[in-house]
């Protein structure tokens, strides 16, 4: 079995098209709901036979829903490392489900059902982790979509639910609503004006938290942050989302203010930074992944400030995903450890930027 | 104000410690504070989230009373010790087995232990098979809610029982 994204409408990349609200600052919105099956041990304590049974139970139920009737199914436990990493780089599965965590193999029965925008991770830390991914800052539409899937799946599957504690999850940090909403946001203005630590501290005080580009445990690269709710119990889904919404809106305002300050107080410094980033991406012959992320961040800022018009947001977003190691390696059937990947990365970036510039 | 430790950089962290009857205040710059292991908001913010969450979950799990270790979960066999080691519960039944401890833990993590979100209506097949089970479960929850003087929850449970009846 291999990973074929052509099975998905738009190749599973529509969340990157830059069409959503506030996409000059916010790349994407993601919401997930964690659910478990009653009368089955949670995945960490389950035998392989339990996990496989849970997989077929969930797969059968998904086929009865409108959203997932025609979903592509990836048996993650049958995939090679590079294919699992590919799905992870696409933000379709977590590190845990992909078996990329140190000293943790892929769990038997690990699967992904997806129609591109809506996905269900099966046998992650919880039996069911359904998620929706959309372009821009769009919490309410994302949740409406996910709520429908939850209702449909819940009509088919016996979810573990406790009248006092709500939906029961393997880790008590997810119990209650099982809802984690996160907004992938680009904050170069706040980083450059050194206001970012204050903003992140403020978020922590109001019950929000941040992670890097790849979610839990990942580092911040390229000034991309995922802001999300930290608690899941004691408030309704709507209240959790409203709170995140208003806080993220404030962060977007702060970021815009920071960009104004930069442009007013150091226009030539900023222009130089932006064009240097563009120049390097356009002409370099070898690029590491981290360097690419940081340069893309600079160009993205230039786009937001209307300094650069030679490239589209969609192209920048695609570069973010398609220049990752597994994507590059899989393209030409090479190993993840191939020492020439930085050279291919530079070639790929150059070609994408050239074709955008020619079109511009 | 200069840092009390290096005397060079401006103090950014003002740490007040109370030991017994004496109160001491130290003014440190960020660098010296970090060297002394003082966690500031800024340094906490640099930690990747998983580490932070793990410390919340496991830290709280580790703080559970040791004498609560007596028995394991009747369904999956997990003990509180397992939970302390992994930060994960074994199954849905664990929430009932270790209810007292988990209630306290949830309160600490979320600031509340009472779910206020979507109510799950069991899948039709499951309800038909076990309407009595659900009824008894709700009744038991109601009894415990009254015992714990959680009247808000009790009212909600009573409403749900009425609907069921």
| A334 CA: distance to closest CA in chain B (Å) | 31
Give per-residue pLDDT as tens, A317-331: 999 999 999 999 998
pLDDT beyond 80 at A103: no
The CA distance from A103 to A101, in Å, is 6
The half-sphere exposure of A237 on its side-chain side, counting CA atoms within 13 A, is 22
Which chain B residues touch A155 with a CB distance below 8 Å?
123-124
Q: Tell if the CB–CB gap between B90 and A41 is shorter than 8 Å.
A: yes
Measured from the Cβ of residue B152, the count of other Cβ atoms closer than 10 Å reads: 10
Q: Tell if the CB–CB gap between B92 and A172 is shorter than 8 Å.
A: no
Q: For residue A45, what is the nearest residue in chain B, using CA coordinates?
A: B90
Weakest mean pLDDT among A124-128, A235-239, B126-130: B126-130
Q: For residue B43, what is the nearest residue in chain A, using CA coordinates?
A: A197
> Which member of B49, B56, B120 has the closest CB to residue A217?
B49
The CA distance from A343 to A289, in Å, is 11
Q: Tell if the CB–CB gap between B115 and A166 is shorter than 8 Å.
A: yes
Mean pLDDT for the stretch of residues A209-223:
74
Whose tokens are 């230039």? That residue is A302
The token pair that represents A150 in the structure block? 């939850």
Looking at chain A, the number of H-run helices and the number of E-run strands are 12, 10
Sequential pLDDT tens for chain B (165 residues): 777 777 777 777 766 665 555 556 677 777 777 666 665 444 443 334 444 444 454 545 555 554 445 588 999 999 999 999 999 999 999 999 999 999 999 999 999 999 999 999 775 544 444 555 667 777 877 887 787 777 777 887 788 778 776
Name the helix (H) or strand (E) containing A161.
strand A161-162
Weakest mean pLDDT among A107-111, A126-130, A211-215, A329-333: A211-215
Q: Tell if the CB–CB gap between B90 and A44 is shorter than 8 Å.
A: yes
The token pair that represents A78 in the structure block? 């049958």
pLDDT beyond 80 at A266: yes
DSSP state of A133: E
| Cβ under 8 Å to B: A residues 317-346 | none
Torsion over CA of B78, B83, B84 and B87, rounded to 10 degrees? Answer: 160
The token pair that represents A332 in the structure block? 């030409």
| pLDDT at residue A171, rounded to an integer | 97
The CA distance from A204 to A76, in Å, is 34
Q: Tell if the CB–CB gap between A237 and B121 is shorter than 8 Å.
A: no
| pLDDT at residue A259, rounded to an integer | 96
Helix B131-147 / helix B151-164 crossing angle, nearest 10 deg: 160
| pLDDT at residue A101, rounded to an integer | 86
Which residue of A233, A238, A239, A241 is the best one to mutate when testing the B interface, meaning the one whose CB has the most B CBs within 10 A?
A: A233
Residue A108 banded pLDDT, cuts 50, 70, 90: very high
- pTM, to two decimals: 0.80
Contact between A251 and A206 (Cβ < 8 Å): no
DSSP state of A247: H
| pLDDT at residue B9, rounded to an integer | 76
> Which member of B92, B117, B123 has the closest CB to residue A168?
B92
Which chain B residues touch A229 with a CB distance below 8 Å?
none
| pLDDT at residue B125, rounded to an integer | 44
| pLDDT at residue B105, rounded to an integer | 95
Contact between B34 and B43 (Cβ < 8 Å): yes
| pLDDT at residue A162, rounded to an integer | 93
Q: For residue A236, what is the nearest residue in chain B, using CA coordinates?
A: B117
Name the helix (H) or strand (E) containing A29.
strand A26-35
Give per-residue pLDDT as tens, A329-346: 998 888 888 999 999 999
Does ipTM exceed 0.85? yes
Give per-residue pLDDT as tens, A67-80: 999 999 999 999 99
Q: Tell if the CB–CB gap between B115 and A219 is shorter than 8 Å.
A: no
pLDDT beyond 80 at A7: no
Mean pLDDT for the stretch of residues A288-292:
93
Contact between A97 and A75 (Cβ < 8 Å): no
**What 3-state DSSP class applies to A184?**
strand
| Cβ under 8 Å to B: A residues 220-259 | 231-237, 239-240
Q: What are phi and psi of B140, to 5 degrees?
A: -65, -40
pLDDT beyond 80 at A313: yes
Q: Tell if the CB–CB gap between A157 and B123 is shorter than 8 Å.
A: yes
3-state secondary structure chain B: CECCCCCCCECCEEEEEEECCEEEEEEECHHHHHHCCCCCHHHHHHCCHHHHHHHHHHHHHHCCCHHHHCCCCCCCCCCHHHHHHHCCCCCHHHHHHCHHHHHHHHHHHHCCCCCCCCCCCCCHHHHHHCHHHHHHHHHHHHHHHHHCCCHHHHHHHHHHHHHHC
| pLDDT at residue B123, rounded to an integer | 58
DSSP state of A187: -
- What is the full DSSP assignment across A208-224? EEEEBTTBTTPPP-TTE
**What 3-state DSSP class applies to A228?**
strand
| Cβ under 8 Å to B: A residues 4-43 | 36, 38-42
- Which string of b and e fits A306-334 if b means at least 16 CB within 10 Å? ebbebbebbbbbbbbebbbbbbbbbeeee
- What is the full DSSP assignment across A266-335? -HHHHHHHHHHHHHHHHH-S---HHHHHHHHHHHHHHHHTTS--SS-HHHHHHHHHHTSHHHHHHHTT--
Q: What is the mean pLDDT of chain A?
A: 93
């Amino acid at each position: 079995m291999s990973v074929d994204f052509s099975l998905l409408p738009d190749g599973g990349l529509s969340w990157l098209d830059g069409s959503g609200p506030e996409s000059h600052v916010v790349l994407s919105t993601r919401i997930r709901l964690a659910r478990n099956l009653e009368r089955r041990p949670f995945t960490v304590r389950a035998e392989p036979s339990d996990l496989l049974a849970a997989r077929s139970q969930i797969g059968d139920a998904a086929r009865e829903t409108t959203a997932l009737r025609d979903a592509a199914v990836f048996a993650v436990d049958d995939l090679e490392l590079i294919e699992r990493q590919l799905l992870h780089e696409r933000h379709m599965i977590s590190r845990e489900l992909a078996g990329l965590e140190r000293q943790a193999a892929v769990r038997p029965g690990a699967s992904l059902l997806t129609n591109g925008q809506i996905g269900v991770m099966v046998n992650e830390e919880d039996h069911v982790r359904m998620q929706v991914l959309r372009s821009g800052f769009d919490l309410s539409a994302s949740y409406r979509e996910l709520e429908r899937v939850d209702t449909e799946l819940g009509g088919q599957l016996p979810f573990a639910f406790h009248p006092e504690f709500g939906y029961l999850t393997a880790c008590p940090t997810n119990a209650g609503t099982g809802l984690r909403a996160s907004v992938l946001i680009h904050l170069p203005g706040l980083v450059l004006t050194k206001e970012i630590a204050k903003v992140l501290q403020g978020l922590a005080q109001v019950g929000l938290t941040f992670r890097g580009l790849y979610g839990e445990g990942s580092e911040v690269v390229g000034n991309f942050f995922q802001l999300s709710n930290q608690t899941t119990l004691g408030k309704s889904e709507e209240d959790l989302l409203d709170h995140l919404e208003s806080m993220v809106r404030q962060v977007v305002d702060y970021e815009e203010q920071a960009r104004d300050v930069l442009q007013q107080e150091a226009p030539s410094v900023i222009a130089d930074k932006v064009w240097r980033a563009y120049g390097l991406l356009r002409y370099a012959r070898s690029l590491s992944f981290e360097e690419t992320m940081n340069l893309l961040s600079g160009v993205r800022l230039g786009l937001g400030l209307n300094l650069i018009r030679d490239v589209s947001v969609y192209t920048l977003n695609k570069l973010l995903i398609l220049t990752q190691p597994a994507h590059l390696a899989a393209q030409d059937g090479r190993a993840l450890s191939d020492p020439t990947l930085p050279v291919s990365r530079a070639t790929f970036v150059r070609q994408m930027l050239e074709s955008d510039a020619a079109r511009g | 104000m200069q840092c009390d430790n290096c005397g060079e950089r401006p103090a950014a962290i003002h740490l007040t410690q109370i030991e017994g009857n004496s109160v001491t205040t130290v003014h440190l710059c960020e660098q010296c504070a970090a060297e002394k292991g003082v966690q500031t908001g800024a340094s906490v913010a640099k930690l990747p989230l998983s580490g932070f969450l793990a410390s919340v979950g496991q830290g709280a799990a580790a703080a559970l009373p040791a004498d609560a270790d007596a028995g394991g979960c009747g369904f999956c066999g997990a003990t509180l010790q397992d939970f302390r080691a992994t930060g994960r519960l074994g199954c849905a039944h664990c929430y009932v087995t270790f209810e007292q401890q988990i209630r306290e833990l949830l309160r600490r993590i979320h600031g509340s232990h009472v779910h206020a979100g979507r109510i799950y209506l069991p899948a039709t097949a499951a309800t038909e098979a076990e309407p009595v089970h659900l009824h008894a479960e709700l009744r038991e929850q109601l009894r415990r809610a009254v015992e714990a003087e959680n009247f808000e929850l009790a009212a909600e449970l009573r409403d749900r029982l009425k609907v069921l009846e």
